[in-house]
């Protein structure tokens, strides 16, 4: 498959007519027909219904059309962004983040950064905490927002906040009768669902370690790939799940209770390379400091321990 084939197919799908599409694409009609055939051959799927005038799209073709439009748009953006960066010699700030920070301050941070530094290109990449460390060292990202402590001497970590943990409980079960914080001990003998299954060690192990440290043994532990699935299983009464408090808003058909206990928190951590002299690292810290001073909703005392980033004193 080839971008040319995508462009050709989009032309035909839009015009619903090979001849006119060929004119717009500045080629003759036969090569256009052949390219579309080649595309269909490669996919092993018919995209167009030709024994009909005007030509119609199959279900697969309809799907392929919308996606092709998106891919072509993406390629255009990529070309433009690369030109901008290359020609103006301005630089790129690449930020890795774990999904859960999307429910906290990340979107707002990125918006503020873009606003404050129109001269640099900001790129955000979703990746798990453990993947962020090698990504930083290889230069694939410059800043990371994750949830795991690490021990790599090449990467600095700064704990931004300690978010309290919450237990998701199926409605209409005994534990869901109360809304008060739940002692960790109450999880003994319960079925537990943890995520993510990969990569390990990850947030799942943080939770399991916390329980182990309190001598709590769940009856059964089921691992799933992502939080959505985990909460789905909770709703289906398959078990309980421990989540960062900010993830409460993801589902409303389960019951939530804060987890009560010494270290029943999950940190949000900023990573960057040691000795990274880029002024943007400081800018990021500066903006974070401002944001924390505004006391945003995701920093509510109810769902966070009263700590502040070390640089925000």
Partner DNA sequence: CGACATAATACCCCTTGAGTATAATTGTAA
Partner DNA sequence: TTACAATTATACTCAAGGGGTATTATGTCG
Return the exposure string of 251-274: e unless at least 16 CB atoms fall within 10 Å of the residue's CB, then b: beebbbbbbbbeebbbbbbbbbbe
Among 14, 30, 62, 249, binds DNA (CB under 7 A): 30
Which partner, DNA, a second copy, none, binds residue 44 by CB below 5 to 8 Å per kind? a second copy
Single out the segment in contact with DNA by CB under 7 A; choices: 51-59, 60-68, 84-92, 303-311: 51-59
- Long-range contacts (CB closer than 8 Å, 24 or more residues apart) made by 243-246: 243/165, 243/166, 243/167, 243/168, 244/100, 244/147, 244/163, 244/164, 244/165, 244/166, 245/163, 245/164, 245/165, 245/166, 245/302, 245/303, 245/304, 246/100, 246/103, 246/104, 246/163, 246/298, 246/303
Among 3, 14, 42, 54, binds DNA (CB under 7 A): 54
Helices then strands, counting H and E runs in the chain, come out as 9, 12
Work out how close the CB of 34 gets to DNA at its nearest, in angstroms, rounded to a whole number.
6
**C-alpha to C-alpha distance for 310 and 7, rounded to whole angstroms:** 52
Residue 199 in the binding site for DNA (CB under 7 A) = no
Residue 4 in the binding site for DNA (CB under 7 A) = yes
Q: Any bridge partners for residue 94, and if so which? A: 123
Q: Indicate if the alpha-carbon torsion angle 295, 298, 300, 305 is positive or negative.
A: negative
Q: Indicate if the alpha-carbon torsion angle 263, 267, 272, 277 is positive or negative.
A: negative
Among 1, 28, 80, 274, binds DNA (CB under 7 A): 28
Which partner, DNA, a second copy, none, binds residue 118 by CB below 5 to 8 Å per kind? none
Residue 41 in the binding site for DNA (CB under 7 A) = no
The nearer residue to DNA, 5 or 190, going by C-beta atoms, is 5
The nearer residue to a second copy, 4 or 200, going by C-beta atoms, is 4
Which residues of the shown chain bind a second copy in the complex (CB under 8 A)? 1-4, 43-47, 57-60, 62-68, 70-71, 74-75, 77-79, 81-83, 85-87, 90-92, 94, 108, 111, 115, 121, 123, 125, 139-140, 228, 232, 249, 251-253, 294-297
How deeply is 309 buried, as exposed, middle or buried, from its count of CB atoms within 10 A (0-12, 13-18, 19+)?
middle
How deeply is 16 buried, as exposed, middle or buried, from its count of CB atoms within 10 A (0-12, 13-18, 19+)?
middle
Residue 42 in the binding site for DNA (CB under 7 A) = no
Among 6, 35, 187, 258, binds DNA (CB under 7 A): 35
Which partner, DNA, a second copy, none, binds residue 58 by CB below 5 to 8 Å per kind? a second copy
Work out how close the CB of 296 gets to a second copy at its nearest, in angstroms, rounded to a whole number.
4
The nearer residue to a second copy, 91 or 238, going by C-beta atoms, is 91
**C-alpha to C-alpha distance for 185 and 189, rounded to whole angstroms:** 9
Work out how close the CB of 62 gets to a second copy at its nearest, in angstroms, rounded to a whole number.
6
Single out the segment in contact with DNA by CB under 7 A; choices: 50-58, 152-160, 206-214, 285-293: 50-58
Residue 188 in the binding site for DNA (CB under 7 A) = no
Residue 58 in the binding site for DNA (CB under 7 A) = no
Q: What is the CA radius of gyration of the chain?
A: 25
Q: Which residues of this protein are in contact with DNA, per CB under 7 A?
A: 2, 4, 17-19, 26-31, 33-38, 50-55
């Amino acid at each position: 498959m080839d971008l040319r084939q995508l462009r050709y197919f989009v032309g035909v799908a839009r015009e619903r007519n090979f001849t006119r599409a060929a004119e717009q694409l500045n080629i003759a009609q036969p090569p256009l027909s052949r390219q579309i055939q080649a595309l269909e051959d490669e996919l092993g799927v018919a995209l167009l219904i030709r024994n009909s005038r005007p030509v119609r799209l199959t279900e697969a073709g309809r799907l392929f059309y919308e996606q092709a439009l998106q891919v072509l748009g993406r390629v255009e953006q990529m070309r433009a962004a690369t030109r901008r960066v290359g020609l103006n010699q301005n630089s790129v700030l690449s930020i890795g983040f774990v999904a859960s920070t999307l429910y906290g301050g990340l979107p707002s941070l990125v918006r503020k950064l873009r606003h404050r530094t129109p001269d640099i290109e900001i790129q955000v990449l979703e990746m798990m905490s453990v993947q962020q460390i090698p990504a930083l060292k290889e230069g694939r990202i410059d800043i990371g927002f994750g949830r795991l402590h690490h021990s790599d001497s090449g990467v600095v970590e700064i704990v931004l906040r300690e978010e309290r943990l919450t237990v998701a409980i199926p409605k209409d079960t005994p534990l869901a009768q109360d809304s008060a914080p739940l002692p960790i001990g109450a999880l003994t003998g319960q079925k537990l669902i943890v995520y993510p299954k990969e990569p390990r060690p990850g947030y799942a192990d943080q939770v399991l370690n916390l329980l182990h440290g309190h001598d709590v043994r769940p009856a059964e532990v089921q691992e799933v790939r992502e939080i959505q699935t985990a909460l789905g299983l909770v709703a289906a009464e398959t078990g309980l799940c421990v989540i960062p408090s900010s993830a409460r808003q993801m589902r409303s058909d389960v019951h939530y209770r804060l987890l009560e206990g010494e270290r029943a928190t999950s940190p949000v951590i900023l990573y960057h390379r040691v000795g990274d002299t880029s002024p943007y690292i400081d800018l990021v810290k500066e903006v974070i400091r401002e944001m924390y001073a505004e006391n945003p909703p995701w920093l509510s005392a109810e769902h966070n321990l009263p700590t502040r980033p070390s640089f925000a004193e």
